Structure 1
């Protein structure tokens, strides 16, 4: 989901969902979410266009810049136990809790909450689906696979900045709020901030300095093996 899924996915694994078990039902639900978000007007046109353009760009990268040498998807990063915990935290903070927040917003009639969190959830859902497709095909090389979380995370950080700004500066508690209202209010604030912090760390602490170089190193090793055949 955040790049660590691609790092640890192998020939028999499929992107982010493989890290959390056999969750094909959730993958189908993500397709539904993407379609709903796209048709509902909850996601800005810029994010819709960004996802479409990134998909085209990835295909061009795979065709002209970093063609596959026929080697199947492989582990690009061997993680420790702490690394697996990091992945689970990212899945929880980035996907499951925002999903609960959006669904809770629908249930409470809180249109502001739904509107502020939907772009994040849309981009992450689209990223996961793209990772699943790319990581299961030998058509795409390691660098192309690595670019998926990198490009989506960069965009999502800006979306999370807007989300954080919205819930911290634009949302206010009603007069004499109930305990549930207070809990919901602070849940949205903390969740937005947690996503901004997590994915900023993920981008600058993992994807750029560790994951991307490892993907390119493995790609050039595979190219040498391919040319020596």
Structure 2
């Protein structure tokens, strides 16, 4: 959840074991083929995350109408979307450059595994916990985990939508997981309070009830640990600086190209004037 569609990409390094060639076209073709193979290998893992996008829309609609999500969390996606749009227009406008790959952070295989763990801990297990709470009639479990699941669903949808739009620059894209993660940490703290303080077991509880009780507690702790590490060890120190570095590098390249074009145009005008004078 560090930016599922924004922060994960296969490495595009050429295969060092292949035979070198002096033909530039052949070399480019080999590198392109290697990139396609790497993207296909990664697509099986990360592409499966996009399959759930339509289901997430259904979950969001159900959660919104269920009355289980507090008003503040219902309003937060609208506020975040409006804020991101304002940033994309006023603070960090896109340079109008379309890229073959929208990813900001070129993740390794280990990083992709880290993202899959986050998807399991943050999305699939909480969803199983909520559905299990419905089946068991445990309204307390459903109400405590639903706000986190609602915000995470909106985060994934937002990431998937803006990853294909050139309207949003890298800093704006990077702020999506950052904003949602900060908000969800506060939501997870409320979840922790519900399952560790407000919820108690009866003295004669059965084993399945005890297992369910500790599953909810452990899941809340796991989410707090994962997303805290994700925020303070990846999003802030690595992901966000990489996005700004890419953005300002692209801006400098565009400014340098514009300056060069103006210089070339001035030289051409001067040469044309000299020819007329002759």
TM-score scaled by length of structure 2: 0.76
What is residue 172 of structure 1 aligned with on the other side?
200
Shift of 1:225: 2.1
Shift of 1:193: 0.6
Unaligned 5+ runs, structure 2 = 11-35, 259-278
Counterpart-to-counterpart distance in 2, 1:51 and 1:225: 34
What is residue 70 of structure 1 aligned with on the other side?
96
Structure 2 CA distance for partners of 1:201 and 1:24, relative to 1, 3 Å:
closer
Contact map agreement 1:8 1:75 (CA 8 A) in 2: yes
Identify which of 33, 45, 50 aligns with 2:59.
33
What is residue 70 of structure 2 aligned with on the other side?
44
Q: Deviations over 1:14-64 (max 9, x none)?
A: xxx985324544111100111111111110000111111101111111111
What is residue 8 of structure 1 aligned with on the other side?
8
Structure 2 CA distance for partners of 1:69 and 1:18, relative to 1, 3 Å:
farther
Identify which of 233, 243, 247 aligns with 1:215.
243
3-state DSSP of counterpart to 1:20: helix
Which is higher, the Rg of structure 1 or of structure 2?
2
Shift of 1:176: 1.5
3-state DSSP of counterpart to 2:106: coil
Structure 2 CA distance for partners of 1:200 and 1:75, relative to 1, 3 Å:
same
Q: Deviations over 1:188-209 (max 9, x none)?
A: 0000010011100000000000
Structure number with the bigger relative contact order (C-alpha 8 A, sep ≥ 6) is 1
Contact map agreement 2:178 2:231 (CA 8 A) in 1: yes
3-state DSSP of counterpart to 1:148: helix
What is residue 57 of structure 1 aligned with on the other side?
83
Counterpart-to-counterpart distance in 2, 1:216 and 1:99: 34
Shift of 1:172: 1.0
What is residue 164 of structure 2 aligned with on the other side?
136
Counterpart-to-counterpart distance in 1, 2:178 and 2:90: 19
Counterpart-to-counterpart distance in 2, 1:51 and 1:80: 30
Counterpart-to-counterpart distance in 1, 2:106 and 2:158: 22
What is residue 224 of structure 1 aligned with on the other side?
252
Q: Do structure 1's residue 21 and structure 2's residue 61 form an aligned pair?
A: no
RMSD: 1.9
What is residue 124 of structure 1 aligned with on the other side?
152
Name which of structure 1's ranges 43-52 and 69-78 shifts more when overlaid on structure 2. Answer: 69-78
Q: Deviations over 1:128-159 (max 9, x none)?
A: 00000111111111000000000000000000
What is residue 162 of structure 1 aligned with on the other side?
190
What is residue 205 of structure 1 aligned with on the other side?
233
Name which of structure 1's ranges 168-177 and 36-45 shifts more when overlaid on structure 2. Answer: 168-177
Contact map agreement 1:105 1:113 (CA 8 A) in 2: yes
